[in-house]
Structure 1
């Protein structure tokens, strides 16, 4: 694991440290400073540049916007606009780049790049307590996971970087749910990935939104056996069962899976079954269930 980059006693970084943090060359960093004026680093007595943590965040914002297809000139204008009038930019214009500009997202991306689990946990905890659960999920966790996916697909991050960052987020979300206090008569929702489905973080996010509405939640682990899902539903008698398939792998592996689940759901007359995820929507062409509602919208379920 790569050693964590630390600032000096004044909280400042040398240019080679900034280059390591951002993945940019020293030449590009100097060019952005001189040509676009996005930062004004201080100078030491020997003339060497030293950068504040805010300077580093600004450079990371510029880099991300450039990666999204903006020219350096336009990216610099967007960064300056947000830095100078963040509240006006967000509230009046509803900038599509707001979620990407969240400071916590940039900090998480930096620590995730170095696979620093301790710092990732610290930032998640700090963000959660600072903005509250709803904003934490919407403006920090979701954008961070989205960027992890992009970096993995673009081969900017390797499997270890992607795995560490995703697992830290998952474990943190589990901790939030486990520590939540429920009312005695709270409605109960049981969540489960389908067999052969490994992507459980999207389901954690959905269950947390139920939790914020006063529901008791429980999640079956990744890729459970079909019999395990049926057994727990029969035993726990939840009000709602949420099934998730982010990929089409469950249906490709077992072509009769959805049909059997649907037949089981038909027998549970007091339990509502929902199935979500892109994999489930794609699979509707092969079989349309009778008792399971396929949806990617929470609004109807939570009413």
Structure 2
């Protein structure tokens, strides 16, 4: 069972820490444990409760009403709301619950229902991608347990690989892209989704995957001379090494446009040489791949 801080709950549920404290003090609706230094800690059941309360509040329930419900009544109300057509934020909450409970069936239902209604790409952009962004910091800081991280990551990875395989059968008539993660970087989900987006628009992808030595990137570059290089920096290189790494990419591959994104890049004040572009939103990559 994982242990969460109040900031973790805020990140995962979207409910402000100040509001969570008010709920605790005014309604006794949530009862965290306390450390020896009086710091609040929460477990999986607390997180599930907060997510379910958030779902009901988003559908018009008042917290004063919710606080009077028994656990059984609360569950019935959540099921009733969930049987309606849920919004994207509701689906993200549901996906978070499936991760906490290691619930593969629940995950499959979310992906199946939304892919049928909106298409796979829109499901990824509007549900999976925001979900990954919401918990990405928690993954890198260890607030989410390794079992939960591996469980949900592998399920999403499986879906992406199947979708990419379907696109790989189409003829590639557009630009050529090399996709890779640098040495020490293993967070591959976003790179796989970039692969799908680029292939879906009839571009050619040379996918090199995670933990790639720079010398191997240079070798492949010389052979293929791509129009674009794309990489995602989530935890590597270290903060002080990011700018030198960006400069090295720009110098080593001057004939290609280099696309960068990830936690170590976006909003970090990185200087971009002329052939380097930072991707702040997934829709920017969609636009580039479409042109």
Once the two structures are superposed, the pairs formed by residues 59-78 of structure 1 within 5 Å of their partners are 61-63=52-54, 72-73=63-64
Q: Determine which of 233, 243, 250 is the counterpart of 2:221.
A: 233
The structure showing larger relative contact order (alpha-carbon pairs under 8 Å, at least 6 residues apart) is 2
Deviation digits for residues 20-76 of structure 1, max 9, x if unmatched?
Answer: xxxxxxxxxxxxxxx9xxxxxxxxxxxxxxxxxxxxx99954345779xx9725989
Separation in 2 of the partners of 1:153 and 1:64?
Answer: 26
Please list, as runs of the form range in 1=range in 2, the aligned pairs for 1:208-223 lying within 5 A after superposition.
Answer: 208-223=196-211
> Which stretches in structure 1 are left out of the alignment for 5+ residues?
2-34, 36-56, 91-97
Check 1:59–1:249 CA distance in 2 against 1; reply closer, same or farther (3 A cut): closer
SS of corresponding position for 2:212 = coil
Match of 2:233 in 1: 245
Query: C-alpha displacement at 1:299, in angstroms?
Result: 5.9
Matched, 1:182 2:170: yes
2-side partners of 1:132 and 1:206: how far apart? 16
How much does 1:272 deviate? 2.3
Contact 1:241 1:272 survives alignment (8 Å): yes
How far 1:184 sits from its partner (Å)?
Answer: 4.4
Partner SS state of residue 159, structure 2: helix
Per the alignment, residue 144 of structure 1 pairs with 131
Structure 1, residues 247-282: CA drift from partner, whole Å, max 9, x if none? 46355357742222211111xx3x322222241245
Structure 2 residue 238 is the aligned partner of structure 1 residue 272: no
Q: Where does the alignment leave 5 or more consecutive residues of structure 2 unmatched?
A: 2-26, 28-47, 68-76
List per-residue Cα deviations over 1:152-205 (Å, max 9, x = no partner).
589874232122212321232122112213224243322122333232222223
Give the ranges of 4+ consecutive aligned residues of structure 1 lying more than 6 Å apart after TM superposition.
153-156
Distance 1:272 1:154 in 2: 32
Structure 2 equivalent of residue 293 of structure 1: 277
User: Which of 153, 161, 165 is equivalent to 2:152?
Assistant: 165
Give, in angstroms, the shift of residue 298 of structure 1. Answer: 2.5
Q: Which has the larger radius of gyration?
A: 1
Distance in 1 of aligned mates of 2:143 and 2:279: 32
Q: TM-score, normalised by structure 2?
A: 0.60
Residue in structure 2 matched with residue 109 of structure 1 by the alignment: 96
**TM-score computed with the length of structure 1 as normaliser:** 0.58
Paired residue secondary structure (2:195): helix
For residues 166 and 137 of structure 1, what CA distance do their matches in structure 2 show?
Answer: 13
Contact kept? 1:121, 1:172, Cα under 8 Å: no
